[in-house]
Structure 1
Amino acid sequence: MLFNSLDFAVFLPIVFVLYWFVVNKNLKRQNALLVIASYVFYGWWDWRFLFLILCSSLVDYTIGLMLEKEHGLIKRKVLLWVSIGVNLGVLVFFKYYNFFVDSFTEVFSLFGSKIQPNTLDVILPVGISFYTFQTLSYTIDVYKRKLKPTSNLVAFLAFVSFFPQLVAGPIERASNLLPQFYRMRKFHYSKAVDGCRQILWGLFKKIVIADQCAEYANEIFNHSDDYSGSTLLMGALFFTFQIYGDFSGYSDIAIGTSRLFGFNLKQNFAFPYFSRDIAEFWRRWHISLSTWFRDYLYIPLGGSHGGTWMKIRNTFIIFLVSGLWHGANWTFIIWGFLNALYFLPLLLTNRNRVNLDQVALGRNFPALKEFVSIGATFCLTVFAWIFFRAESLSHAINYIIDIFSITLFKLPTVRPTYLLLFLMVFVLIEWFGRSKKYAIESLFLNRNRWLRWMFYMLLIACVFILEGGEQEFIYFQF
């Protein structure tokens, strides 16, 4: 079920009414309702994969309880690796089996040997990468005794399957989300209004920014041989805003929807395109995944401690794994490799934690140095996104070669005026709202009531006018 669908527009009010007006006085019934609603939400896509998420939940729930009772180090490690093996085994099978088989075949073909691989026609379950990492973090935290395991099965099932963030995050930690299922939730009008405001902004990002950019980005990338270098550059820019509007828009809708039910999810995007270096970008882009890899992969590997070689090794491991997490294609691995190259000089010169504060803090506009830094970081990001979007490595390389041709100095043949205007307004709103959790959190709140509602009506009008059918979110494929 898509957030931007008629189905969800009917589903959400029904669950909301049942949650606050039918089972509102009983915590167990509230949690049970959320489990049922979440399974309906997920099963709407393909009911067969409900067994997969249920199995994953039961395995980690059971292992969590066993870890609590077991004190022997060896047995505790065995239990941990059972959880890791089951979760990653399912993920690798559904997401990477064919990729590894095809890559294995290509390696043999380089040496003149031809083999006939047995690939499978496997459907990738929506959101499997997200809920797999969410349940894994629970087991690892219990193993490290950072978290006490729950004996409340319904609460745990609700934590794993919570429908607002189930299929595309944020990837929540059990330490933040699970305790919220233990407490009775009370309806707060201000929270609900704030949630609706963030949902509206998320829908605007998805439908008005991402989907409109997607129309032109897809046309240009899919027929890249037909366009000039300047048009190809325009296509890369459109995709840059498409993926941000699409993914951060989903996160905004997920966080806003959670707030309607009395839950607080963590911020997943913090205006990453205003970053002054690539390290800051990764502190602001897909925060839940970046911090997951930091805490459960980078730090256990040794992090930034140790010698230069260890720093380089760990940096490349975390970015390459991040690329592979995004998809079973060499383009994603190269995308991760590029980001590692961008990040490494900052790490080796101890400048990876220089830009920790908000850009242009206390000022309306950035200083010249900040402006240049933002522009340079943005350009590096756009370049890397070409590999992320391309169908293959050869497509990405040819796309880049064609950009840096003499035709780069021609006027683009694709330049939709209305979309460029929307993007300029969007960037301005994001810039002046960069100190908030989302751009319009406090926009016009202290102004005339009619001005505020005119702005909301304008956003709603844009969403309905430019709505072009139920377009899937990009990160559903990951």
Structure 2
Amino acid sequence: MLFSSLLFIFQFLPVFFIIYYLSPIRFRNLILFLASVFFYAWGEPRFVILILISILINYIAGIFIERYDRNEKIRVTILVLSIIYNIGTLMFFKYFNFIIENINYIFKGDISFIDIPLPLGISFYTFQIMSYTIDVYRRDTKAERSYINLGAYLCMFPQLIAGPIVVYTQVSKELRKRSYYLKDIEKGLRIFILGLGSKVLIANNVGGLWDDMAQIGYANISMPLAWLGLLSFSLQIYFDFNGYSLMAIGLGKMLGFDFPQNFNFPYISKSVTEYWRRWHITLSTWFKEYLYIPLGGNRKGKLRTYINLFIVWSVTGLWHGASWNFIFWGIYFFVLLSLEKLFLKKWLEKNVILSRIYTILAILLGWMIFAITELENIKIYFGRLFSFSISEDWIYYLRNYGMILVIGILFSTPFLKKWYDKQANKILCNILLLVIFLLSIAYLVDAAYNPFLYFRF
């Protein structure tokens, strides 16, 4: 069930909120848990049991880690077993056939593939539940004694499928006791509408240009059209994912939770380092807290720092998908971040205009590696970017998509947000939000193209 669907907006949400707010406060976690399980089962009924087992295993692990507080050997054993289960489940469903494919390639084997569908949101909820058991082991939080509360945390439908990645320590207090104010519900609704508009009105429309690239054939496009295609994909994935995150944050606020910010205008960055502080913030934070720092971070010398960065960015790439292009995408950013750490960052800080040009070009080339799965096609597309083939094909697509590209570029900067923040409580802003909502609904009624890109990750 998509957030940007008429079913979710006009059927699931109204029924859920009526039941949720009319129920006694002590039952609201149960209602949230059951509604979230229903939400997940609507799109993935086969794998509801998988997420319920994940909650149970980590629930038990957390309790026993806390119970044997003075026996480090038992605590470590339980933690390792829970991590093996969590990572093992993710590896089986997401990477089993990828591993078999590479084994067959290296050893010239003929091991058969297994038809394994990818459970929705498994990459996100696996990281979330792992953070819980790790934090209990670190004594950063107490073990949750209620299966329902832990289930409400992991299954919470606003952020279950595609984040933002919310760690247990960020919502543990709110799971036990949270406040409900009309102003928060109103603010949450505003954020949800802005996310809906980002997804439906911008991402869905600008993404059509990138889809056209594949239909034309990468070998047949001119250099200007190749760059226009990358620009369209960069805007599509930003407004798609940021839109989803805003809707999740808005829904969370209506439920009494404060979810962390996931995007902070990443395309205005002056370096790749800054970009990754602004893009998918919760994922970057998770890798920093639960992989980079435990590996030693930057505390064990320069060589070890770069080895740790290489591991983190290789895993970051692999987390996005079982394909070599994602691994190369992660390594690509490892190289850029390493160069910036070595010497490039100081130069960029002195050249504001060139730093922005460099960053945008680096990001666009990164999206090329990310978006095109086949390595041969990446090579072809890269060649078209620097082919100096200037045919007139790009004029047609610029006429069709020029306006939405300009709108996307404008809204990817904080310029309009500053205006919105000043007008947030004025009638003009309320009228604007109503127009965005009505236009979004009109689009959903009329259009068939309405994917969420990050669902497949």
Is the structural similarity TM-score above 0.5? yes
The letter for the 2-side match of 1:338 is: Y
Q: Could you tell me whether the CA contact under 8 Å between 2:55 and 2:147 is conserved in 1?
A: no
Deviation of 1:210 after TM superposition, in Å, equals: 1.2
Deviation of 1:232 after TM superposition, in Å, equals: 1.4
The letter for the 1-side match of 2:14 is: P
Deviation of 1:469 after TM superposition, in Å, equals: 2.6
Deviation of 1:250 after TM superposition, in Å, equals: 0.5
Q: Deviations over 1:95-147 (max 9, x none)?
A: 00000110111122xxxxx3211211000000000000000000011111111
Aligned to 1:74: 73
**Structure 1 unaligned residues grouped into runs of 5+:** 109-113, 356-367
Using the alignment, how far apart are the partners of 2:351 and 2:202 within structure 1? 29
Q: Could you tell me whether the CA contact under 8 Å between 1:221 and 1:232 is conserved in 2?
A: no
Deviation of 1:471 after TM superposition, in Å, equals: 1.9
Q: SS state of the match for residue 116, structure 1? A: coil
Deviation of 1:445 after TM superposition, in Å, equals: 2.5
Residue pairs, 1:247-396, within 5 angstroms: 247-349=241-343, 351=345, 369-396=351-378
Using the alignment, how far apart are the partners of 2:290 and 2:209 within structure 1? 38
Q: Confirm or deny that 1:166 pairs with 2:160.
A: yes
The letter for the 1-side match of 2:59 is: Y
Using the alignment, how far apart are the partners of 1:48 and 1:411 within structure 2? 46
Using the alignment, how far apart are the partners of 2:318 and 2:60 within structure 1? 29
Q: Deviations over 1:427-470 (max 9, x none)?
A: 33443458x7xx776252365x2x32342243234423443236
Using the alignment, how far apart are the partners of 1:299 and 1:385 within structure 2? 27
Using the alignment, how far apart are the partners of 1:414 and 1:117 within structure 2? 47
Q: Confirm or deny that 1:469 pairs with 2:451.
A: no
Using the alignment, how far apart are the partners of 2:140 and 2:273 within structure 1? 27
Deviation of 1:16 after TM superposition, in Å, equals: 0.7
Q: Which of 366, 373, 389 is 1:407 aligned to?
A: 389
Q: Which of 436, 444, 447 is 1:459 aligned to?
A: 436
Q: Deviations over 1:321-364 (max 9, x none)?
A: 00000000001011111111110022234959x98xxxxxxxxx
Q: Could you tell me whether the CA contact under 8 Å between 1:433 and 1:443 is conserved in 2?
A: no
Deviation of 1:416 after TM superposition, in Å, equals: 4.3
CA RMSD in angstroms, aligned pairs only: 2.1
TM-score (normalised: structure 2) = 0.94
Q: Which of 50, 60, 63 is 1:62 aligned to?
A: 60
Aligned to 2:40: 42
Matched residues, number = 451
Using the alignment, how far apart are the partners of 1:470 and 1:58 within structure 2? 37
Using the alignment, how far apart are the partners of 2:178 and 2:205 within structure 1? 41
Indicate the structure with greater helix content. Answer: 2
Deviation of 1:44 after TM superposition, in Å, equals: 0.2
Q: Which of 202, 207, 221 is 2:214 aligned to?
A: 221
The letter for the 2-side match of 1:185 is: S
Q: Could you tell me whether the CA contact under 8 Å between 2:30 and 2:152 is conserved in 1?
A: yes
The letter for the 1-side match of 2:53 is: C
TM-score (normalised: structure 1) = 0.90
Aligned to 1:362: none
Q: SS state of the match for residue 48, structure 2? A: helix
Using the alignment, how far apart are the partners of 1:325 and 1:128 within structure 2? 10
Q: Could you tell me whether the CA contact under 8 Å between 1:308 and 1:348 is conserved in 2?
A: no
Aligned to 1:17: 18
Using the alignment, how far apart are the partners of 1:413 and 1:337 within structure 2? 35
Distance 1:409 1:348, change over 3 A: farther
Using the alignment, how far apart are the partners of 2:138 and 2:58 within structure 1? 14
The letter for the 1-side match of 2:379 is: I
Q: Deviations over 1:371-413 (max 9, x none)?
A: 4322321110000100111021111111101221121575615
Q: Confirm or deny that 1:195 pairs with 2:181.
A: no
| Percent identity of paired positions between Structure 1 and Structure 2 | 35
The letter for the 2-side match of 1:459 is: I
Deviation of 1:414 after TM superposition, in Å, equals: 4.5
Using the alignment, how far apart are the partners of 1:430 and 1:337 within structure 2? 26
Using the alignment, how far apart are the partners of 2:131 and 2:161 within structure 1? 17
Using the alignment, how far apart are the partners of 2:220 and 2:435 within structure 1? 37
